[in-house]
Structure 1
Amino acid sequence: MAQDIEMPALGESVTEGTVSRWLKKVGDQVAVDEPLLEVSTDKVDSEVPSPIAGVITEILVEEDETVDVGTVVCRVGEAGEAPSAAPAAPAAPAVPAAPPASPAASPVPQTPAASSAPAGGGQAVEMPALGESVTEGTVSRWLKKVGDKVEVDEPLLEVSTDKVDSEVPSPIAGVVTEILVQEDETVDVGTVLCRVGDGVAAPAETSAPAAPEAPAAPAAPAVPAAPPAPSLPENPAELPGAGIPSSIKREGDHHVVQWAYPQVHTGYPGTMTAQGQVVPPSDNAPAAPAAPAAPAAPAAPKAAETPAAPKPPAAPPAPAAPKAPAAPTPPAAPAAKPAEKPQAAKQVSGGYVTPIVRKLAREKGVDISSLKGSGVGGRIRREDVLAAAQKPQAAPAAAPEVPAAALPPIQPAQERGKTEKLSRMRQTIAKHMMNSLASTAQLTTVVEVDVTRIANLRARAKDSFAQREGTKLSFLPFFVKAAVEALKAHPKINSRVNDETNEVTYFDHENVGIAVDSDKGLMVPVIKNCGDLTIAAIARKINELAAKVRDGSISIDEMSGGTFSITNTGSRGALFDTPVINYPEEAILGLGTIVRRPMVVKDSEGNDTIAVRSLVYLALSYDHRLIDGADAARYLTTVKKRLEEGDFSAEVGL
């Protein structure tokens, strides 16, 4: 019986979604977790995976239609339930339509064939659709140049729009034969950016006329890879992989492109077969086009009638060259090509590897080709890379050598003396900060807190805590716990002002954003209902969210819904700062670095004495439109008393 696939809830307060694109059609087979369609809302674009393996029997919502969450968009059932998929078969006859193009090309269009030769008979790589309503993109940087070899899914270039920065991967393994759009040029979605071929299309072109001239049958089958080359420029939209679907996954203040290559039974270069193997480019040439090569023979006699025909016989030495001179290095390059393709297939034997996973593997020093993917069809996922990265962690035993070495001199940064554009993430942060300063009346109040008791408590409990809870115990969970307890007693700090209605909302929950420093910039994931959590739960959540931010797997839901924020600039050694409010919140708490220094304290008899204590500055920035200085001071005093009391023994297992 067919199973209904419903429009999912794609975020907090999201009640409807729009079908952006169907990745499958009626009669297509799908595997578990294989994407069926792309949907978009006002907050996020996402793919909807299939919960079961089977065949799409019915599509109920067409592209660009908007429906409520929970609406059935399609049904997936067994093969017998699917309507006749015969219409899909005619797609095969559509391919033979290409042979007519080759006879037409034989009389005179051999000149166009020569024009396609510079492109190496390559596959066109187009500017992808990088998000809903995005119609153009800018080439930020080319990662490859003409003549460079590329593997399947290896990034070719970086593109940017006003919403997202992304890498464009190569759909096949081969050689970059032509670059059509230069850096900093802006072009429409669908524009051909470059072409990737096998690097030997030009010699194959010359050997084509030799096939009718020399009846040697082995020479003709040796060239089947060439027939697709002349037909490729005829209709780029029908090229395998020309319209590769992509979707945008928003992760905080930045977006990540997810590419949805066909998974099985397509035969496209670089895609997976049912056995999980990657189809090399040469394997994609259908056997049928080899037959149309015969009609080219009659065209050859016509050419022979002309006096210019005697010259083509000079071509036969060319086909002979690739065979005999296997020893010389020049012909050895084509011979090495088949050997390289299996290597490329081995490297991505788990199918398409997302740019995020590839970047994570580089950062962790993990060789992707050595991994066995745990995803659908053996796809390599983030969890596989992280698991592989944790295994060799015994190596840090050699770390003691580092302290023995002298500190290296400070090296000038590579950016010194350069002028470059702001990244999209940096531009987004800049706009958000300026909007915050322009929309609120901000000022900061600072207090000093003695956290000696907490420092001693943590020193005693951190080892047993890590063993019992499976996560490290830092100072941050203590500060978060004290801050959210104080929010319950001071609701102004945990509120929001509506400028349009001149109303203020006091929240009955504490959703605390934790500022996390990442390579792309500052991001603020949110701990939901933090006021109900223990220190152990807060510690686990902080470490989990920080890891997701840094490896790029954070979701839009985990980045939204905050009512109050905390930033720990002390982790980088700052005594304190004046943090900018994470608008539309009303306040943000900044934590300074903990330092040990002498101060006057009371002894057990009430006498003044000097002792070395652990001290920290807490800085609260707030919106003076709603919160007065006295309100801020009262809140900070409550936090200070809770921290100096240090009564957290039970929560850390002591």
Structure 2
Amino acid sequence: MGRYVFRLPDIGEGIAEAEIVAWHVGVGDIVAEDARIADMMTDKATVEMESPVSGKVIEVAGEVGEVVAIGSPLVVLEVAGRGDRAGEGDRPFTPTAEPDPVRETPPVSEKAVPEPADEPSAPEPLAEPAPPSPRGEPSRGRVLASPAVRKRAADLGIDLGEIRTAEGGRVRHGDLDAFLSYNAAGGFLPAGTKRRDEHVRVIGLRRRIAENMAASKRNIPHFAYVEEYDVTALEALRGQLNEARGDRPKLTMLPFLITAICKLIPSYPMLNAHYDDEAGVVSRFGSVHMGMAAQTDAGLMVPVIRDAQDRNLWQLAAEISRLAAAVRDGSARSADLSGSTITVTSLGPMGGVATTPVINRPEVAIVGPNRIVERPMFVGDATGMERVEKRKLMNISMSCDHRVVDGWDAASFAQDLRKLIEAPALILAGGIS
């Protein structure tokens, strides 16, 4: 038998290292050629690593959250024959990337629930102390159990070491049920009443988000501007267009907002820009590459609508749908996640009254529509008479980089945006003069 050292390949231009965000194999596993072995995250995307050969895993580069340099060993496999080169497997298997100071803390279970053996605790009694376990024995240390059983026991405040099993082996749900029946008077807390402390490592996309948000707030002097908009006419137009959409995608508020922003950008080029604070250079862009903040199971991501100024409402709606699906199922390409020049962020019906979104550095502005509410308003007519009507109102929030954008500019932009939003025919026509 020989050894095959699989080194982390060059997975993108300018990429020097990647973070391990998931292992799909462990030491001792048999893997087939082209089998998925790990997920590696770069600054731009998550890349799946596949085994180039079949064999048995005998060494891996590190734990989830560690960084591996391009060209460093990722996995060592025991293979038939002499392997990839003589003596290759005899060298020590250590990643060459410098460890992150955050990662010097002891590793924590992936399930974020401490093992009972590491943190034993007895359930708090509600009335009288719980009777001894059926076996009358102390906790027996580490106990075999599935993650689901282990979590259920933790939620109930039960030490798995106190549970009798058929042959002293793996604890199953049935063993938990029997224990609960036997100790029904013991005062065990119902599921969800008591939880243990959790210590979850910040890794992968969550760590990238934390670093980017901290850098943005640390380096950019944010200021916020919030304005109220009457969207009654816009919502009526949106409803009419959706009724006649046929097989085209359904229109939400975002395509209208993006179109309105694109029409105003030529008059407010300082908003569609990047600021390089180290070089002291502001780059104002002719095209609007609209970032769209999207929530995923892994965290916040910002896919990019390229050349948004050249797309109509239906094309924007289709691209929004495509990008949202891509980031949620993990199929987004690197090009889909980079190069934005200004960003919109929306929480939809949960948008709140007002928000103060964090700028997507090195951009200088971010726009966030909030929740639509219905309220009575005084509405004037052509004769100057006023009456009270029920109207649909929405606040739009902006955060700007005060080094590049002045308060007057942001306020002027918001007022011109109001003219388009409240007279939506202008969004479909040539804009405002």
2:84 to 237, 241, 261: 237
Relative contact order: is structure 1 or structure 2 higher (C-alpha 8 Å, sep ≥ 6)?
Answer: 2
Q: Compute the displacement of 1:431 (Å).
A: 2.5
Structure showing greater Rg: 1
Q: Compute the displacement of 1:445 (Å).
A: 0.5
- C-alpha separation between the residues in 1 aligned to 2:3 and 2:290? 49
Question: What is residue 586 of structure 1 aligned with on the other side?
Answer: 364
Question: What is residue 129 of structure 1 aligned with on the other side?
Answer: 9
Q: Compute the displacement of 1:495 (Å).
A: 3.6
One-letter code of the match for 1:632? A
* Shift in alpha-carbon separation, 1:418–1:535, aligned structure 2, 3 A: same
Question: What is residue 460 of structure 1 aligned with on the other side?
Answer: 240
* Shift in alpha-carbon separation, 1:192–1:481, aligned structure 2, 3 A: closer
* Shift in alpha-carbon separation, 1:160–1:585, aligned structure 2, 3 A: closer
- C-alpha separation between the residues in 2 aligned to 1:509 and 1:574? 31
Question: What is residue 322 of structure 2 aligned with on the other side?
Answer: 544
* Shift in alpha-carbon separation, 1:605–1:122, aligned structure 2, 3 A: farther
Higher helix content, 1 or 2? 1
Q: How does 1:364-379 map to 2 (within 5 A)?
A: none
Q: How does 1:26-37 map to 2 (within 5 A)?
A: none
One-letter code of the match for 2:36? P
Name the SS for the 1:601 alignment partner.
strand
1:600 to 360, 363, 378: 378
Question: What is residue 615 of structure 1 aligned with on the other side?
Answer: 393
Does the CA contact (< 8 Å) of 1:137 and 1:189 recur in 2?
A: no
Give the TM-score taking structure 1 as reference length: 0.42
- C-alpha separation between the residues in 1 aligned to 2:420 and 2:18? 54
Does the CA contact (< 8 Å) of 1:164 and 1:424 recur in 2?
A: no
2:426 is aligned with 1:634: no
Name the SS for the 1:435 alignment partner.
helix
- C-alpha separation between the residues in 2 aligned to 1:171 and 1:179? 15
Does the CA contact (< 8 Å) of 1:125 and 1:170 recur in 2?
A: no
User: Can you list the C-alpha shifts for 1:306-364, whole angstroms capped at 9, x where unaligned?
Assistant: xxxxxxxxxxxxxxxxxxxxxxxxxxxxxxxxxxxxxxxxxxxxxxxxxxxxxxxxxxx
Does the CA contact (< 8 Å) of 1:140 and 1:183 recur in 2?
A: no
Name the SS for the 1:575 alignment partner.
coil
2:259 is aligned with 1:481: yes
Does the CA contact (< 8 Å) of 1:452 and 1:615 recur in 2?
A: yes
1:193 to 70, 76, 81: 76
* Shift in alpha-carbon separation, 1:526–1:566, aligned structure 2, 3 A: same
Q: How does 1:405-554 map to 2 (within 5 A)?
A: 417-467=197-247, 470-499=248-277, 502=280, 504-554=282-332
What are the ranges of 5 or more consecutive residues in structure 2 without an aligned counterpart?
90-190
Name the SS for the 1:436 alignment partner.
helix
- C-alpha separation between the residues in 2 aligned to 1:446 and 1:575? 10
Of stretches 457-466 and 488-497 in structure 1, the one that deviates more from structure 2 is 488-497
Does the CA contact (< 8 Å) of 2:31 and 2:56 recur in 1?
A: no
Does the CA contact (< 8 Å) of 2:294 and 2:300 recur in 1?
A: yes
Name the SS for the 1:580 alignment partner.
coil
What are the ranges of 5 or more consecutive residues in structure 1 without an aligned counterpart?
1-120, 197-227, 243-410
Q: Compute the displacement of 1:451 (Å).
A: 0.6
Name the SS for the 1:488 alignment partner.
helix
Q: Compute the displacement of 1:579 (Å).
A: 0.9
2:67 is aligned with 1:184: no
Q: Compute the displacement of 1:622 (Å).
A: 0.6
* Shift in alpha-carbon separation, 1:164–1:461, aligned structure 2, 3 A: closer
Does the CA contact (< 8 Å) of 1:570 and 1:576 recur in 2?
A: no
Name the SS for the 1:465 alignment partner.
coil
One-letter code of the match for 2:364? E
2:36 is aligned with 1:155: yes
Question: What is residue 402 of structure 1 aligned with on the other side?
Answer: none
One-letter code of the match for 1:184? E
* Shift in alpha-carbon separation, 1:466–1:548, aligned structure 2, 3 A: farther
User: Can you list the C-alpha shifts for 1:528-578, whole angstroms capped at 9, x where unaligned?
Assistant: 332343222322332233333334343334434332211112354433311
Does the CA contact (< 8 Å) of 1:135 and 1:189 recur in 2?
A: no
Q: How does 1:279-290 map to 2 (within 5 A)?
A: none
Give the TM-score taking structure 2 as reference length: 0.61
Q: Compute the displacement of 1:583 (Å).
A: 1.9
Aligned-pair identity in percent equals 31
- C-alpha separation between the residues in 1 aligned to 2:21 and 2:306? 39
Name the SS for the 1:627 alignment partner.
coil
Q: Compute the displacement of 1:441 (Å).
A: 1.4
In the alignment of these two chains, the number of paired residues is 319
User: Can you list the C-alpha shifts for 1:189-218, whole angstroms capped at 9, x where unaligned?
Assistant: 23653447xxxxxxxxxxxxxxxxxxxxxx
- C-alpha separation between the residues in 1 aligned to 2:209 and 2:33? 34
One-letter code of the match for 2:220? T
- C-alpha separation between the residues in 2 aligned to 1:506 and 1:163? 23
- C-alpha separation between the residues in 1 aligned to 2:275 and 2:19? 37
* Shift in alpha-carbon separation, 1:605–1:419, aligned structure 2, 3 A: same
